[in-house]
Structure 1
């Protein structure tokens, strides 16, 4: 991973996110002016495009062809329980699926939105792995799966959430937990249950976010760790030389 100033790049992407939400054109232009590579084209569209472009740049810096990084409508893949799913990012090289990613955010209505994000993440990744097991991505290796989420740091997202327990007690980790705490648990548990290879969780305050302020609440869920894991996976595939089958058959015959 050769992004020179990763913290500044993340900060620019966070500025872009809040600028898109608030339509602050001046802040958005400032973010775009610091963009690298294709990010000059990517940012200015969707709220998470700054982070999507940063991920793409890291992969290109690692030697991946830029056109191998697919976004949105180009990142449609077959599913098992449904016909297709449009991912936020898919990496396809020589007709092999190497990585898939979802980039999500929550800035309001934390309860409903977080529940929706949880159901989507668990369902999407379960569907993807089943599709892989059924051979729908042949001859692809097991794809690297990533999940990134940015949550607004507000009084509501930081406050303890009241829980109703009319029948059974909930998991202790969720008692007195905030929406930020719950999101942290989502990311950690998806990593530890192998639903994703790596997750990243960023928070950003509404007032300072437009200036690029952000926080990483858990050292296991940092953006740098996310990128390092992804780049290492891609590079291991690129460095691997497929053996010549004919030569192998000849050697076996001898």
Structure 2
């Protein structure tokens, strides 16, 4: 079965350019409104920073046979039932003929303080996935084949995100792979384990420096967590669903 990756490399570069460009536009808007003291938060108020990645995923859906799929991006239609909580709001849902095909989350983190949100992101990703799969097992989405669950993190590629981080664990040692790991390494480990433990169908870490607003530069740390693996797994899932639909 042939799959179409929808020119993902160029579209990822465009998504990265849009991410940094939209952050800067939001920051300038805050300055013009006299609210420049909000710091890095000024860069996230526009709510459009990850739209380029959503567009890439939507293109993959169309390119692999599910042309009539409903691709939901608006907040009012992004809610799914949970098991441990009533509902969960996702960033993107793909539906086809009343069946849930995919649920995806797109996250980002920039400096200068990388430590503030890293653990929260990990806890959120793990909890969301566990809740999602138990809800699926209990029939929350009806009687259907296993949907695709995707998680993607865009992390600023900077000295602070690449330098080793110390951890304090006074009672028991941390796992060896975390010793001296940078925040970039930690996200890579997180993505790898999310997939290995079947919490997500694919999880990806995209690293990009601020200067990528003009170049679209990005990189990854491992094949398993790279953007190519993410889009390949997703495209394969969509092609399978298209073949099943006839």
Q: Give the TM-score category using the shorter length.
A: 0.7 to 0.9
Aligned to 2:20: 18
Shift in Å, 1:178: 0.2
1:186 aligns with 2:190: yes
Query: Counterparts of 2:206 and 2:158 in 1: how far apart (Å)?
Result: 13
Aligned to 2:242: 238
Residue 83 of structure 2 aligns to a residue whose secondary structure is coil
Aligned to 1:2: 4
**Which whole-Å deviations, capped at 9, do the CAs of 1:73-120 have from their partners, x for residues lacking one?**
122110011111111111111111111111111112311211111011
Query: Counterparts of 2:88 and 2:58 in 1: how far apart (Å)?
Result: 20
Query: Counterparts of 1:66 and 1:201 in 2: how far apart (Å)?
Result: 30
Aligned to 2:61: 59
Aligned to 2:147: 143
Query: Counterparts of 2:54 and 2:204 in 1: how far apart (Å)?
Result: 13
- Compared CA separation, residues 175 and 219, structure 1 to 2 (3 A): same
Structure 1: tracts of 5 or more residues without a match? 26-43, 243-254
Computing the radius of gyration from Cα coordinates, the structure with the larger value is 1
The CA RMSD over aligned residues, in Å, is 1.9
Q: Pick the aligned partner of 1:86 from 79, 84, 89.
A: 89
- TM-score, structure 1 length as denominator? 0.83
Shift in Å, 1:237: 1.9
Aligned residues: 224
Q: Please tell me whether the aligned partners of residues 151 and 180 of structure 1 are also in contact (alpha carbons under 8 angstroms).
A: yes
Q: Pick the aligned partner of 1:217 from 213, 217, 221.
A: 221
- Compared CA separation, residues 241 and 180, structure 1 to 2 (3 A): closer
- Compared CA separation, residues 210 and 191, structure 1 to 2 (3 A): same
Q: Please tell me whether the aligned partners of residues 163 and 183 of structure 2 are also in contact (alpha carbons under 8 angstroms).
A: yes
Q: Please tell me whether the aligned partners of residues 151 and 202 of structure 1 are also in contact (alpha carbons under 8 angstroms).
A: yes
**Which whole-Å deviations, capped at 9, do the CAs of 1:108-161 have from their partners, x for residues lacking one?**
231121111101100000000010111111122111111111100111101111
- TM-score, structure 2 length as denominator? 0.85
Q: Please tell me whether the aligned partners of residues 5 and 231 of structure 2 are also in contact (alpha carbons under 8 angstroms).
A: no
